[in-house]
Structures are given as structure tokens and as C-alpha cells.
Amino acid sequence: MKNPLIQLNGITKVFRVGGEDFSALHEINLSIEPKSFMSFVGPSGSGKTTLLNLIGGLDTPTSGEIKFGDESLGDMSPDQRALYRRENIGFIFQSYNLLPVYNIYENILFPFLLANLKESAVRDRVMSIIEQVGLMPQINKRPSELSGGQCQRVAIARALVKEPRLVLADEPTANLDKENSYQILELMLDLNKKFDAAFIFSTHDEKVTKFVRREVGLEDGYVRWDKRRNGVGDFE
Ligand SMILES: Nc1ncnc2c1ncn2[C@@H]1O[C@H](COP(=O)(O)OP(=O)(O)O)[C@@H](O)[C@H]1O
Ligand SMILES: [Mg+2]
């Protein structure tokens, strides 16, 4: 593989639970291409969220190395890792994690405010992504006035508005019914083609499988399989 976006070399994660060590991930080696559209699949407790958190720089491995392009996450200070997250990664969560007192426009603007950018400088980008996720009619509404599928569209827009290289989505369809799950997956696949962003999902939802180009199976913290599929989306 030429120039992977993410490289995991011998990643392990050990948690201390009740005075004992528990290995949540064992010697994970993976290369992930730019513009991937892939999932980590496995039962609850298999290590999916732990792995996404490590790739996203939200947590650090017990041993092994994670590289983003040429940069090693292990060489970064906590502040540098926070900057790495802000500049390179969009996060989408199962429970959407929207700010309840803000309307849709403000929720999607929020990543720019965190980066100290002025609203006037980014308003067009915020409006453009709201248009692309189909939420113009809801722009002034608050999250409590939206359906689950609409909330997840807001979360997707917020994750993409700064045009990150990587989007990490932890069980993004877990709270959605079938129809909404398909719509959300189609939207993400469409945005994956339009934007220069790789998408990595964690899921145990079989509906997700139909959309991804690569599936990495996890069980008890081990990679059990790594399948690629042709004919889904456009591989570049
Ligand atoms: N902060 C933590 N402290 C202790 N154990 C943890 C922690 N986070 C995850 N684990 C354990 O690691 C294993 C993998 O968890 P997780 O990555 O959340 O799995 P999944 O997302 O596939 O359900 C589970 O056994 C879980 O209990
Ligand atoms: Mg999980």
C-alpha cells in the first residue's frame, strides 16, 4: 500500500480493572488508506471503541505505534494530540452528542468557534454542509425538535465541516431504524466521494456491511479477519 493514512503497528491496550490487567487489544497491525470507507465489526466488548479512541488520539496505547501520515501519535504531547484531533479528525457518536441549547446552525458552527475562527469567515462553509446533508429546513431548530436521523445528519455535518482527513463514527446507526440507517449510510458514502476524507465505523449492524469497501473483524481484542469488497462505491 502506498502512503497509508493510518498505520497501526503492534498496538496493545491494557486496562487495569479491579487490580488486574485486562488486555482489550492484542498486537493490532493495520494499514488504512486515504479515502477508505470501512468498518470495525464485532460483538460488544470486542475492542471497537477502544481502537477508534486510539486512532482518534482520545486515548493512548499501552504499546505499539500509531502513525497518521508521517506523524507518530506517541511522539505528541497531550496538547499536540488535541491539535491533531481538531485539525484532522471528525467524530460521530452513536448518541449524536449535540449541544441541546444551540440550534442546528450553531451546532455545526461550533468546531470553528473552538478553533477561534470568526463566524463571518466560515458562514458559507457551514451553510454549504447544511445544504449537503439536507437540513436547510431545520437550520433554526434545536436538537430536541429533530428526529434521530436528522440529529445524526447534524453530527455528520459537524464532523465534516472542517474537511478532516478522517471521520471516526462509533456505531453511527445503532439508534436508528432501518430506513434512517440506510439514508445515513448513503449520505456518508456520498460525502466520502465528495470530500477527501476516510470514514471508519465501528458497528455490529449488518446493514452497515453492505456499504463498506473493507471490513475488519474484531473478537476479544484480536483482528480475526480483514475483507475487502469490490463494486461498492468508487475506490480511488
Ligand atoms: N476505560 C476502561 N476501563 C476498563 N476496561 C475497559 C475500558 N474501556 C473498555 N474496557 C474494556 O475493554 C473491552 C473492549 O471494550 P470496547 O472497546 O468498548 O468494546 P466495543 O466497542 O467493541 O463494545 C471490554 O471488555 C471493555 O469492558
Ligand atoms: Mg463500543
The pTM of the full predicted model, rounded to 2 decimals, is 0.93
In the predicted structure, residue 205 carries a pLDDT above the cut 80: yes
Q: Which residues, in sequence order, are CB contacts of 227 under 8 Å at separation 6+?
A: 214, 215, 217
Q: pLDDT at position 236, please?
A: 37
Residues 64-74 have a mean pLDDT of 96
pLDDT band at 114, cuts 50/70/90? confident
Nearest-angstrom CA–CA distance, 87 and 165: 9
pLDDT band at 134, cuts 50/70/90? very high
Nearest-angstrom CA–CA distance, 198 and 192: 7
- Distance (Å) from CA 14 to ligand 2 centroid: 16
- Asked whether the beta carbons of 218 and 40 are under 8 A apart, the reply is yes
49 lines ligand 1 (CB under 6 A): yes
φ and ψ at residue 80, rounded to 5 degrees: -65, -35
In the predicted structure, residue 149 carries a pLDDT above the cut 50: yes
Q: Which residues, in sequence order, are CB contacts of 25 under 8 Å at separation 6+?
A: 11, 12, 13, 47, 50, 51, 54, 61, 221
- Asked whether the beta carbons of 24 and 76 are under 8 A apart, the reply is no
Shortest-distance atom of ligand 1 to CA 50 = 17
Q: How far is CA 180 from CA 99, 142, 156, 190, 211, in A?
A: 21, 19, 14, 15, 14
Q: Which of 12, 14, 16, 22 to mutate to test the pocket of ligand 1 (most atoms within 8 A of CB)?
A: 22
Q: pLDDT at position 33, please?
A: 95
Q: pLDDT at position 194, please?
A: 92
Question: In the numeric block, which cell numbers belong to residue 32?
Answer: 488504512
Q: Is the dihedral of CA 224, 229, 233, 234 positive or negative?
A: positive
What the chain holds in terms of domains, given with CATH numbers, is 6-227 (3.40.50.300)
Shortest-distance atom of ligand 1 to CA 13 = 12
Which ligand has the shortest distance to the CA of 41? 1
For ligand 1, atom 5, name the residue with the nearest CA.
15
For ligand 1, atom 16, name the residue with the nearest CA.
47
Q: Specify the residue for cell string 431504524.
A: 177
pLDDT band at 95, cuts 50/70/90? confident
Q: pLDDT at position 1, please?
A: 65
- Distance (Å) from CA 171 to ligand 2 centroid: 7
Shortest-distance atom of ligand 1 to CA 17 = 4
Q: Which residues of 195-229 are buried (b: 16+ CB within 10 A; e: fewer)?
A: bebbbbbbbbbeebeebbbbbbebeebebeeeeee
150-196 confidence digits (pLDDT tens): 999 999 999 999 999 999 999 999 888 999 999 999 999 999 999 98
In the predicted structure, residue 229 carries a pLDDT above the cut 90: no
